[in-house]
Structure 1
Amino acid sequence: MADWDAELYLLYEAMRTRPATELLEKAVAHLGSRDLEQIVDLGCGPGNSTELLVREFPEASVIGLDSSPAMLERARERFPHVKFVQDDIVNWHSETSLDLIFANASLQWCPDHAYLFPGLINKLRPGGLLAVQMPDNLSEPSHQLMREIAKRPRWQEQLSAASGKRAVIGSFEAYYDYLSPACDLVDIWRCCYGHVLPGPEAIVQWLQATGLKPYLDPLSVADRKLFLEAYSRAVSQAYPRMSDGRVMLRFPRLFIIARKR
């Protein structure tokens, strides 16, 4: 895919960071009084989740990892004292065993979770935590409409692979089976956020920074404009305005915390 747009992503920073905050709170509770030395923020983006980790664990070495140069540039501007590394999550190798791997809204872009998750656990020290949050919204109208519009004759050929860019999130039981052989704790839960936005156009803007990218990136400028127009019309119908004129974006997310035995 083309590089990410850090500034567009940060337009809704507070809402995007809330799940990371809640994931970290639960991770801290599972860690107890343990002192952490080595932490990696996988898919750190513009550094909003990395900031949480640095603030919570000021004595630890925190590294932010992302594949996007634009996101990393923004993160380094915000936090010049933190080490940020450009790498791909799937091919990343840690030089040391880690106390905490934090992955907020990143692993849904990685394939083969049956292989990925045990591999991440192998990078932890005994007692170390893997803390994961993944959008689980492929069945929501916001994403169903992307797939439906991509199947229209004008875009069908160009966008035949777009829906496969994101992994299909598995069941609770599947992730438990991936993690339990090497872990003495596997905590899994699902939460649906209700994001109140100014109007349907804000939903489109939100998703242009994330879920829409695989559909927009392959298109020419002209086709991208037409796709967004068609998608915007569909979103306006699927997300009617509430009594105050605003709209509600339902956003389910899956959370997983696993502790290495």
Structure 2
Amino acid sequence: MTATAGAWHPGSYLRFAGERARPFVELVARVGAEAPRTVVDLGCGEGSLTASLAQRWPGAQVTGIDSSPEMLAAAAASAVPGRVAFEAGDVADWAPREPVDVVVSNAVLHWVPGHPELMARWARALPPGGWLAVQVPGNFGSPTHALLAELCRAPGWGGRLDDVAPRPDTVLAPAGYAEVLAGAGLVPDVWETTYLHVLTGADPVLAWVRSTVLRPVLARLDEEDAARLTEAYAEALRAAYPVRPDGTTLLPFRRVFAVGTRPA
């Protein structure tokens, strides 16, 4: 994960590990590299998905990059000497020290302002036959984000949360990412998928967003104000995502995928 306010908590993030892993698997499945020598996962998180890249490409040296000490500490359990390594670094500053055959960034770039230019820079650095694969959440116009943005801009917060309120233009439309890849000389493969997650438990949508979009907002507030905003947000989410008769809650989640390769 890239640097944002507040500490990342691997346990909270992994509560929905299965749902969060599926887009990674579907992203990497569209990468056609046959025998890459070097693979980099930018914003690797707790490392288990990064380690799966070494299984996909047994001959590759796989490196995961993340700025979170908490995530890197968890990732250490997935390191394999000579095969899988993890390093501290902010994806916004990363540049390859040598040619990298496959660059992956899953559910990270929406944290980075101006990330389309960053993608273009990574793409231009790819060697012939190299691949870039990126996935970003595409749900910034959904109730999870729109309701939080409305709360952040409410008069009671005195402008303290304006710059951390979710913005609907945080990510591009699929066509925008296709233009970024093609403009950098890659052959683009871009698509979107809306997953319908079936969640259980008390306030499950709130539990989902606690480890993502809600983190930088709560980091700006003291304990009392954080509790007040969280309760107001939870109430709004219950109305937007009601519990079904069987006790489950449905969360539609749109994601945008962008894969590109430089012709050999």
The bucket for the TM-score relative to the shorter chain is: over 0.9
Of 148-157 and 202-211, more deviation after overlay is shown by 148-157
Give 1:194's match in structure 2, choosing from 188, 196, 218: 196
Instruction: Give the whole-Å Cα distance in 1 for the aligned partners of 2:30 and 2:243.
Output: 34
Counterpart amino acid of residue 46 in structure 1: E
1:110 touches 1:167 (CA, 8 Å); kept in 2?
Answer: no
Task: Provide Cα deviations, 1:152-194, integer angstroms capped at 9, x if missing partner.
Answer: 2222421011026896111233222222133341011000001
Counterpart amino acid of residue 208 in structure 1: R
Identify the residue that residue 262 of structure 2 maps to in structure 1.
Answer: 260
Identify the residue that residue 67 of structure 2 maps to in structure 1.
Answer: 67
1:102 touches 1:131 (CA, 8 Å); kept in 2?
Answer: yes
- Is residue 2:12 matched to residue 1:8? yes
Structure 1, unaligned runs of 5 or more: none
RMSD: 1.7
Identify the residue that residue 176 of structure 2 maps to in structure 1.
Answer: 174
DSSP-derived class of the 1:125 partner: coil
Of 153-162 and 139-148, more deviation after overlay is shown by 153-162
DSSP-derived class of the 2:129 partner: strand
Give 2:143's match in structure 1, choosing from 128, 137, 141: 141
C-alpha change, 1:97 and 1:167, in structure 2 (3 Å) is farther
Counterpart amino acid of residue 133 in structure 1: Q
DSSP-derived class of the 1:117 partner: helix
TM-score of the two chains, using structure 1 as the length reference: 0.93
Instruction: Give the whole-Å Cα distance in 2 for the aligned partners of 1:182 and 1:171.
Output: 17
Instruction: Give the whole-Å Cα distance in 1 for the aligned partners of 2:38 and 2:94.
Output: 15
Percent identical pairs in the alignment equals 34
How far residue 145 of structure 1 moved from its aligned partner, in angstroms, is 0.9
DSSP-derived class of the 2:101 partner: strand
Task: Provide Cα deviations, 1:31-85, integer angstroms capped at 9, x if missing partner.
Answer: 3xx3110000010001132022122112100000011110111111343543111
Identify the residue that residue 21 of structure 1 maps to in structure 2.
Answer: 25
Counterpart amino acid of residue 26 in structure 1: R
Instruction: Give the whole-Å Cα distance in 1 for the aligned partners of 2:100 and 2:180.
Output: 19
DSSP-derived class of the 1:235 partner: helix
Task: Provide Cα deviations, 1:230-251, integer angstroms capped at 9, x if missing partner.
Answer: 1111111110112311100110
C-alpha change, 1:221 and 1:56, in structure 2 (3 Å) is same
2:131 touches 2:262 (CA, 8 Å); kept in 1?
Answer: yes
Structure 2, unaligned runs of 5 or more: none
